């Protein structure tokens, strides 16, 4: 298992609701040995004007998965994980339903993590593939004065 400790899906879905992932109703669905999955609805919140899934919404799902995956791999008392770079290829349109992102590691180093996120529609067709690089930064040590 690649995670720092054992986590439950309910813990990930029970985080504060004042962020973009919550506004788009991103829900974590599985924490596997070496992958993390989440869903996002394709509806008026995530559509672009042409009535299909907005590419930026797919990137939000990908970045949410990659950032949380890195967080799950580090000691949160000592480190923080922040997105450094992300890219996405949008392969086919999605009009409705849900999309599911599956995040897997490509590299987990001391200072950077690289994750691949494949996003699938309800029919199991890949509609987006993304890669995110996450910086692993030491948390500032509080000044003792």
Tokens 């003792």 sit at which residue?
144
Residue 21 near residue 91, CB atoms below 8 Å = no
Going from the C-alpha of 77 to that of each of 45, 74, 96, 115, 141, the distances in angstroms are 34, 9, 40, 22, 10
Would you call 63 a catalytic residue per the annotation? yes
| Set 11, 63, 85, 116: catalytic member | 63
C-alpha triplet 126, 14, 10: angle, nearest 5°: 65
The dihedral formed by the CA atoms of 56, 58, 60 and 62, expressed in degrees to the nearest 10: -140
What are the residue numbers of the active site?
63
């Amino acid at each position: 298992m690649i995670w720092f400790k054992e986590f439950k899906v309910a813990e990930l879905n029970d985080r504060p609701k004042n962020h973009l992932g919550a506004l788009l109703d991103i829900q974590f669905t599985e924490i596997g040995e070496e992958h993390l999955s989440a869903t996002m609805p394709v509806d008026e919140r995530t559509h672009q004007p042409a009535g299909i899934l907005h590419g930026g919404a797919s990137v939000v799902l990908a970045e949410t998965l990659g950032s949380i995956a890195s967080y799950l791999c580090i000691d949160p008392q000592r480190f923080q994980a922040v997105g450094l770079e992300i890219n996405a290829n949008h392969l086919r349109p999605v009009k409705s339903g849900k999309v599911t992102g599956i995040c897997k590691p490509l590299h987990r180093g001391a200072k950077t993590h690289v994750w691949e996120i494949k996003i699938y529609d309800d029919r199991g067709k890949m509609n987006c593939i993304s890669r995110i690089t996450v910086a692993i930064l030491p948390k500032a040590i509080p000044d003792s004065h």
